[in-house]
Structure 1
Amino acid sequence: MRLEDRVAIITGAGRGIGRAIAEGYAREGARVAVADLDAATAEDAAAAIRAAGGEAIAVTMDVTNEEAVDDGVQRVIDTWGRLDIAVANAGVQHIEALDKLSLAEWRKVTAVHLDGAFLLTRAALRRMYQGGGGTLLYMGSVHSMEASPLKAPYVAAKHGLLGLCRAVAKEGAEHGVRSHIICPGFVRTPLVEKQIPEQARELGLSEEEVVRNVMLKNTVDGEFTTVEDISRLAVDLAAFPSAALTGQSVIVSHGWHMG
């Protein structure tokens, strides 16, 4: 098992990409903390991992709350005595034109993605520095590399995560900490499912046209990226044995963006 005896925490792990990563880590031998804003969703994911023979706990966490993030990471330490992998995956989306966008909606999206990633990073680094190293992974997007209409706060936040990842790679190196940002194309998660009718309304298209002509238009094969694709990559990056690979953005998008 490639992650045997490692301890990981994944935010937004109650469902979607985060849950797939948590399950993938557990299959590879990691002990996993499933962190999510929704306590019941987190416990359901953790219970599924335990039922499959893995080791997992559920952690209720609002990633925009400093105390909640610090307490959640401390619970991992109290339970397993260490932290080797932290994945900043929690995210939200808001579809609206910039000229209509409220400051409150801007702040909501950027707070979850950027503030949440910073708070997890800081709490994790404090433990990893003491423990001799670790890996920070960030869930970016093709929107870390380019932009789409109606998604300004999301695009800005995902670009910001790219910078945070690179800063961690530089600062963490002397402490044995590596970092990477995974940049998926569209993955058919609940977050994306919610966007389809929203974009259809904003753009005056059918939902089928949004999928075909907006979301998947620039892929090489008209296919969605899957949660299994992302989970597999997250395992590969966490298991890589040296700082030969750090500070990297890895794009998983069926050729939508080629970096």
Structure 2
Amino acid sequence: MSTLENKVCIVTGAASGIGKAIATRYAEDGAKVVIADLKIDAARKAAEEINAKTKGEAMAVEMDVTDEDMVNAGVQKVAATWGRIDVLVSNAGVQIVHKVEDFPFAEWKKLLAIHLDGAFLTSKAVIPHMKRQGGGAILFMGSVHSKEASALKAPYVTAKHGLLGLARVIAKEGGEHGIRTNVICPGFVKTPLVEKQIPEQAQDLGISEDEVISKVMLGETVDTEFTTVEDIAAVAHFFAAFPSNALTGQSLVASHGWYMN
């Protein structure tokens, strides 16, 4: 089985939720992980926790993924500290829900910037390092919404579809350099991001919070279960540790059967 021991892995939005679970899973395998997050105090705390309980190493880097200078500076700091960059997980994201006709344009642009600009800018920053060292893995955090649509989520669905296209282009361009690019597509994972949506959707749709969970979020799953952060971390480890270009430009859905293809 392939390992991430001593691999240098940058995970954005890793101070909490899915990102923190991925960073922890990588460090458990001996990786050196970078907790890149806008919330630097929370990032430092996450890094301390990972250092205390895993065989890997963790460091915190303040990063707004929509700020090119900040992204470049953060990536340079990692390269200067640990000498290489083997894995990028572009995970930072937000959710904002409105009907299209009610969607403030500024919020549309904010969400697209975090998801799409963030994936582009972080990839652009790490690719030269990966080329120099002969390879690497770039993972984008997609969603079932990379494949499907839901009401109230126009920019989110648009962004998650867009990540598939960006990943495929980078896979084509990076193949000769050993750079693999893949997309993880979770179903509903019970993170603070999802918990925040439950009352918002209940209000917008005029139904109870229990109905949002059982019908809107989990109604199409095979077992009405949320996907866990550990489930997604396992997929992220599989993609990051995969040893060859055989698996590139692909997307993998982990959603308790909500979406099957």
TM-score by length of 1: 0.99
1:248 aligns with 2:238: no
**Is 1:49 the equivalent of 2:50?**
yes
For the residues of structure 2 that align with 1:67 and 1:167, how far apart are their CA atoms?
23
> Please, which runs of 5 or more residues in structure 2 have no aligned partner?
none
The residue correspondences of 1:77-226 to structure 2 (distance < 5 A) are 77-226=79-228
Consecutive aligned runs of 4 or more in structure 1 exceeding 3 Å deviation: none
Match of 1:11 in 2: 12
> Which residue identity does 1:181 align to in structure 2?
V
Matching residue within 54, 72, 75 for 1:73: 75
Whole-angstrom distance in 2 between the partners of 1:221 and 1:83:
39
What is the deviation of 1:183? 0.2
What per-residue deviation string (whole Å, max 9, x for no partner) do you get for residues 23-64 of structure 1?
Answer: 000001110000011011111110001111431100110000
Distance in 2 separating the partners of 1:201 and 1:60 = 35
Could you tell me how far 1:111 is from its partner in structure 2?
Answer: 0.3
Tell me the SS of whatever aligns to 2:245. coil
What is the alpha-carbon distance in structure 1 between the residues aligned to residue 120 and residue 95 of structure 2? 18
Amino acid at match of 2:64: D
For residue 2 of structure 1, report the CA deviation from its aligned partner: 1.2
Report how many aligned residue pairs link the two structures.
Answer: 259
Work out the CA distance in 2 between the residues paired with 1:198 and 1:231: 27
Q: Which runs of 5+ in 1 are unaligned?
A: none
Kindly state the Cα deviation for residue 142 of structure 1 after the two structures are TM-superposed. 0.2
C-alpha RMSD of matched pairs (Å): 0.8
Secondary structure in 1 matching 2:185:
strand
Q: Which residue of 2 aligns with 1:39?
A: 40
Offset at residue 5 of structure 1 (A): 1.4
Amino acid corresponding to residue 175 of structure 2 in structure 1 = A
Question: Under a length normalisation based on structure 2, what TM-score does the superposition of the two structures give?
Answer: 0.98
Distance 2:128 2:96 in 1: 32
